[in-house]
Structure 1
Amino acid sequence: MKRDDITLRGAGESAAIAPQPAMGRSHPHESARAQVAGNAHYIDDLPELRGTLFAAPVMSPVAHGRVNGIDASAALAMPGVHGVVLASDIPGDRVFPSAARDEAILASEAVQHVGQVVALVVADTVMAARRAARFVKLDVTPLPAILSVQDALAAQSFVLPPVHVRRGDAEAALAQATHRLQGQFETGGQEHFYLEGQIAYALPLEQGQWWIHSSNQHPGEVQHWVAHALGIPAHAVRVECRRMGGGFGGKETQAGHMAVWAALAARKFGRPVKLRLDRDDDFMVTGKRHPFAYEYDVGFDASGRITGLKLQMATDCGHSADLSGAVADRAVFHCDNAYFLEDVDIVSYRCKTHMQSHTAFRGFGGPQGVIAIEVILGDIARRLRLDALDVRLRNLYGKDERNVTHYQMQVEDNILHELLPTLEQSSDYRRRQKAVSAWNAVNPVFKRGLAITPVKFGISFTATLFNQAGALVHVYTDGSVQVNHGGTEMGQGLNTKVAQVVADELGVPLDHVMVTAADTSKVPNASATAASSGTDLNGRAAQYAARTVRDNLAAFVSGLDRCGAGAVRFEGGMVISPQTTRPWREVVVAAYANRIQLWSDGFYRTPKIHYDKTTLTGRPFFYFAYGAACTEVAIDTTTGESRVLAIDILHDVGRSLNPAIDVGQIEGGFIQGMGWLTTEELVWDPKGRLATHAPSTYKIPATSDVPEHLNVALWPEANREDNVGGSKAVGEPPFMLAISVYEALRNAVAAARADGGAAAGERIELRAPATAENVLRALGRVAG
Structure 2
Amino acid sequence: MRKLIDTPEAGEMLRSRPAKEKRPGHTGQSMQHESACKHVSGQAVYVDDMPELPGLLHIAVGGSDYPHARIRSLDLQSVKDTAGVVEVITVADVPGLVDIGPVFAGDPVLVQELCEYVGQPIFAVAATSIEIARAAVKKAKIDYEVLEPVLDVEKALQQNFFVRPMHQHKRGDSASALKNAPHRLQGAMHVNGQEHFYLEGQVCTVQPTEDGGMLVYASSQHPTEVQKLVAEVLDISINKVQVEVRRMGGGFGGKETQAAPLACLAAIVAHKTGRPVKYRMTRQDDMVMTGKRHPFYNQYDIGFDEQGIIQGAELVVTGDCGNSPDLSDAIVDRAMFHSDNAYYLNNATVTGHRAKTHKVSNTAYRGFGGPQGVILAEQMMDDIARHLREDPLTIRKRNLYGVTHQHIRTADGKTDPRDETHYGQKVEHNLLTELIDQLEISSDYWSRRAAIRKFNHSSAVLKKGLALTPVKFGISFTVQHLNQAGALVHIYTDGSIHLNHGGTEMGQGLFLKVAQVVAEEFQVDLDTIQVSATRTDKVPNTSPTAASSGTDLNGMAARDACLRIKEGMFAFAYQHYQADANSVTLLDNQLVYTKDGDEQCVPFADFVQQAYMGRVPLSSTGFYKTPKIHYDRETGKGRPFYYFANGAAVSEVIVDTLTGEYRLLRTDILHDVGRSLNPAIDIGQIEGAFIQGMGWLTTEELAWNNDGRLISNGPATYKIPAVGDTPFEFNVELMQDRPNDEATVYRSKAVGEPPFMHGISVWSAIRDAIASVSDYKLNPRLDAPATPERVLFALQEVQSDGDQ
TM-score range, shorter chain: over 0.9
Q: How far apart, CA to CA, are the structure 2 residues paired with 1:546 and 1:244?
A: 27
1:616 equivalenced with 2:636 (yes/no): yes
Query: Is 1:307 aligned to 2:311, yes or no?
Result: yes
Alignment check: 8 A CA contact 2:23 2:525 kept: no
Between the aligned partners of 1:197 and 1:614, the Cα distance in structure 2 is 39
Which of 372, 376, 383 in structure 1 is aligned with 2:380? 376
Q: Distance in 1 between matches of 2:182 and 2:661?
A: 38
Q: Cα offset for 1:99?
A: 2.1
* Structure 2 residue corresponding to 1:589, chosen from 609, 612, 623: 609
Hey, what does 1:387 align to over in structure 2? Answer: 391
Checking the alignment, whether the CA contact within 8 Å between 1:753 and 1:779 is kept in structure 2 is no
| Alpha-carbon distance in structure 2 between the residues aligned to 1:265 and 1:780 | 56
What is the rounded CA distance, in whole Å, between the counterparts of 1:565 and 1:631 in structure 2?
57
How many angstroms does 1:595 deviate by?
1.0
Say whether the 8 Å CA contact 2:163–2:355 is kept in structure 1: yes
Aligned to 2:186, the other structure's residue is in SS state strand
Counterpart of 2:640, as a letter, is P
Alpha-carbon distance in 1 for matches of 2:105, 2:125: 25
| Correspondence for 1:134 among 135, 138, 147 | 138
Counterpart residue number, 1:517: 533
AA aligned opposite 2:38: A
Match of 1:244 in 2: 248
Matching residue's letter, 2:164? L
Give the counterpart of 1:157 among 158, 161, 166: 161
Look up the equivalent residue of 1:305 and give its one-letter code. I
The one-letter code of the counterpart of 1:774 is R
Aligned to 2:759: 738
Q: 2:101·2:108 contact (CA, 8 Å) conserved in 1?
A: no
Q: CA deviation at 1:82?
A: 1.4
Please, what TM-score do these two structures have when normalized by structure 1? 0.96
SS in 2 for 1:699: coil
Q: CA deviation at 1:17?
A: 8.2
Deviation at 1:74, TM superposition (A): 2.5
**Helix, strand or coil: the match of 1:551?**
helix
Match in the other structure for 2:437: 421
Q: Tell me how far 1:729 sits from its aligned partner.
A: 0.1
In structure 2, give the amino acid aligned to 1:167: R
Structure 1 residue 763: Cα displacement: 2.2
Match of 2:719 in 1: 699
- How far apart, in 1, do the equivalents of 2:423 and 2:786 lie? 31
Question: What CA deviation, in whole Å up to 9, does each residue of 1:704-745 have, x standing for no partner?
Answer: 111230000000111111110110000000000111001000
For 2:206 and 2:581, locate their aligned partners in 1 and report how far apart those are by CA, in whole Å.
48
SS in 1 for 2:211: helix
Indicate the residue corresponding to 1:728 in structure 2. Answer: 749
Q: Deviations over 1:46-85 (max 9, x none)?
A: 1111000000110111000001122222322322111311
Q: 1:165 to 1:358 in 2, by over 3 A?
A: same
Q: What is the CA deviation profile of residues 567-621 of structure 1, one whole-angstrom value per residue up to 9, with x for unaligned ones? A: 2111110000113110000001111111111100100000111111233310011
Q: Match of 2:492, as an amino acid?
A: Y
Match of 1:458, SS state, is strand
Q: Report the counterpart of residue 80 of structure 1 in structure 2.
A: 84
Contact 1:243 1:491 (C-alpha < 8 Å) held by counterparts: yes
CA pair 124-576 structure 1, distance change in 2 beyond 3 A: same
Conserved 8 A contact 1:449-1:634: yes
Match of 1:199 among 174, 199, 203: 203
Among 74, 94, 98, the residue aligned to 2:98: 94
- Matched residues in 1 for 2:464 and 2:581: separation? 64
Per-residue Cα deviation, 1:487-528 (whole angstroms, up to 9, x for no partner): 000000000000000011011111111111110000000000
Q: Which of these residues, 556, 560, 563, is aligned with residue 547 of structure 1?
A: 563
Q: In 2, Cα distance between the equivalents of 1:338 and 1:493?
A: 28
Equivalent residue letter for 1:325: D
Cα offsets for 1:638-666 (capped at 9, x unmatched): 11111111000000000110000000000
The offset of 1:481, in angstroms, is 0.3
What residue is the counterpart of 2:74 in the other structure? 70
Percent identical residues: 52
Which whole-Å CA distance do the structure 1 matches of 2:784 and 2:773 have between them?
18
- Structure 2 Cα separation of the partners of residues 389 and 753 of structure 1: 19
Aligned to 2:458: 442
Change (3 A) 1:565 1:245: farther
Q: Return the match for 1:268 from 254, 266, 272.
A: 272
Q: CA deviation at 1:248?
A: 0.2
Provide the rounded CA distance (Å) in 2 between the counterparts of 1:363 and 1:636.
31
Supply the distance in 2 between the matched residues of 1:635 and 1:127 (Cα, whole angstroms).
47
1:473 to 2:477 alignment = no
Aligned pairs for 1:657-672 within 5 A: 657-672=677-692
Aligned to 2:704: 684
1:50 to 38, 48, 54: 54
How many Å separate the matches in 2 of 1:700 and 1:177? 42
Gaps of 5+ in 2: 1-18, 404-415
Displacement of 1:347: 1.2
Equivalent position amino acid for 2:163 in 1: V
The structural deviation recorded for 1:37 is 1.5
- What displacement does 1:436 show? 0.8
Q: 1:603 to 1:566 in 2, by over 3 A?
A: farther
> What's the secondary structure of 1:780's corresponding residue?
helix
CA drift of 1:203 comes to: 0.4
Determine which of 587, 602, 612 is the counterpart of 1:571.
587
The answer to whether the 8 A contact 2:153-2:297 is kept is yes
- The reply on whether 1:605 has 2:625 as its aligned counterpart is yes
Equivalent residue, structure 1, for 2:424: 408
How far 1:372 moved relative to its partner? 0.6
Q: Secondary structure of 2:782's partner?
A: coil
Contact 1:149–1:351 (CA under 8 A) maintained in structure 2 = yes
The correspondence for 1:255, drawn from 259, 278, 288, is: 259
**2:321/2:354 contact within 8 Å kept:** yes
Give the whole-Å Cα distance in 2 for the aligned partners of 1:506 and 1:565: 20
Q: Normalising by the residue count of structure 2, what TM-score does the alignment of the two structures yield?
A: 0.94
Q: 1:628 aligns with which of 648, 651, 665?
A: 648
Matches of 1:152 and 1:19, distance apart in 2 = 58
CA deviation after TM superposition for structure 1 residue 632, in Å: 0.2
**Unmatched segments (≥5 aa) in structure 1:** 1-15, 755-759
1:563 to partner: Cα distance: 3.0
Alpha carbons 1:23, 1:657 under 8 Å: kept: yes
Q: Could you say what secondary structure the match of 2:609 adopts?
A: helix
CA distance in 1 between partners of 2:747 and 2:175 (Å): 43
**CA distance, structure 2, for counterparts of residue 635 and residue 479 of structure 1:** 60
Equivalent residue of 1:68, what SS?
strand
Structure 2 SS opposite 1:545: helix
Which residues in structure 2 correspond to 1:621-660 (within 5 Å)?
621-660=641-680
DSSP 3-state at the match of 2:594: coil
Partners of 1:219 and 1:241 within 8 A in 2: yes
Q: Distance in 1 between matches of 2:447 and 2:21?
A: 46
Give 1:258's aligned amino acid.
Answer: L
Q: What pairs with 1:16-35 in structure 2 (closer than 5 Å)?
A: 19-20=22-23, 22-35=26-39
Residues 289-308 of structure 1 mapped to structure 2, 5 A cutoff: 289-308=293-312
Rate the CA distance shift 1:748–1:300 in 2: closer, same or farther, 3 A. Answer: same
1:162-177 equivalences in 2 (<5 Å): 162-177=166-181
C-alpha contact (below 8 Å) 2:471/2:757 kept by paired residues: yes
Within 5 Å, give how 1:737-776 maps onto structure 2.
Answer: 737-754=758-775, 761-776=777-792
Mapped contact 1:94–1:105 kept (Cα < 8 A): yes
Correspondence for 2:329: 325
Q: Secondary structure at the residue paired with 2:342?
A: coil
Aligned partner of 2:573 in structure 1 is 557
Give the CA RMSD over aligned residues. Answer: 1.4
The CA distance in 2 between the partners of 1:681 and 1:526, in whole Å, is: 34
Indicate whether 1:534 and 2:555 are aligned.
no
